[in-house]
Amino acid sequence: MSDKLDFSKELIGRRALVTGGTRGIGAAIAQRLLDAGAKVVIAARTPNDDMPKGATFVAGDASTGEGVEAIATKALAALGGLDILVNNAGGANAFLAGSWTIPDQAWHDSMALNLFAAIRLTNAVLPALRASKAAAVVNLSSAAATMPFGPFAHYGAAKAALNYYSRTLAMELAPSGIRVNVVSPGVIATPGSEEFAKATPGFSADDWLRNIPLGRIGATEDIAEVVALLVSDRGKFLTGANYPADGGMTAR
C-alpha cells in the first residue's frame, strides 16, 4: 500500500478561476487544481511561458473594474459556470526608507490590487457560485497583514482589510453553502521574493530564515496544497478561517 494519499480525482467536474495564475503561487495553485481533475481558468494581465499548460488563459487587469469585468465574463464563458474562486492576484513595491515615504498613489494601487480586486471579482461571479453545489472561495492574504513592516505598510494594510472582508463574507454566504477562507503565506520562494531580495541592499536569506521556526523558506506547492484542501470536499466544514502557511513565523 502506498504511503501517499491520492487526491488526483477529487476535483473532477469542478470549475475553477485563479487570478494571478501565470507564475509563482498562483501558477502552483492552478496546477494543483488541474492535477486533481478541475477545469481551470487562469487570469492575469499577460500570459507567459511558465503558466500551467492545461489551463485556459484569460487576459484582464484585476486592479481595475473594467479588468475584473473582462476576467469574469471570459472565465464564465470558458467554464460554463464556477465552483472555485481563488483570488490570488496581489503584490506591491517596497519603500525601503519607511512607511512615511509611500506616496498616495502607491497606497491606492495596493488597495486596488490586494483588496478591491477580490471584492469586485467575488461580486461579479457570485451568481455563478450560488448556482454551484460545491462553491468555495479562497482569498490569498499574507503574513504581512499581522507583522508590521514599514516598507510594505501599504501591502500589509490592504491584506489586513482583505482578512476582515473575507471573514464577513464567509458569515454572509454560509447559509447559501458557499465557503470562504483565507490562506496567509509567509516567505515563499517566488519571482517576487527573489526580486525583493535583489533590490534590498545588504539583504541575506538568513534575514528571513531566522524568523521561520521550521527553518526553511516555503515552496509555492506548500501554499497550493492548503488551497486544494480548502476547495475540496475534505474541507467541506471549513469556512470563515485564516490559515497561516508560514513555517510558524506568525506563531511567535
Q: Check residue 37 and report its DSSP letter.
A: T
Instruction: Tell me the β-bridge partners of 40.
Output: 16
Q: Where are the beta strands (DSSP E) in 167-221?
A: 179-185
Write the CB contacts of 141 (distance below 8 Å, at least 6 apart in sequence): 159, 162, 163, 166, 182, 183, 184, 242
Q: Which of 155, 164, 165, 243 is catalytic?
A: 155
> Is residue 165 flagged as an active site residue?
no
The maximal CA–CA distance of the chain, rounded, in angstroms, is: 58
Stretch (H or E) spanning 244: strand 242-245
Q: Is 15 left (phi over 0), alpha (psi -120 to 50) or beta?
A: beta
Cell of 201: 541592499
Residues annotated as catalytic are 155
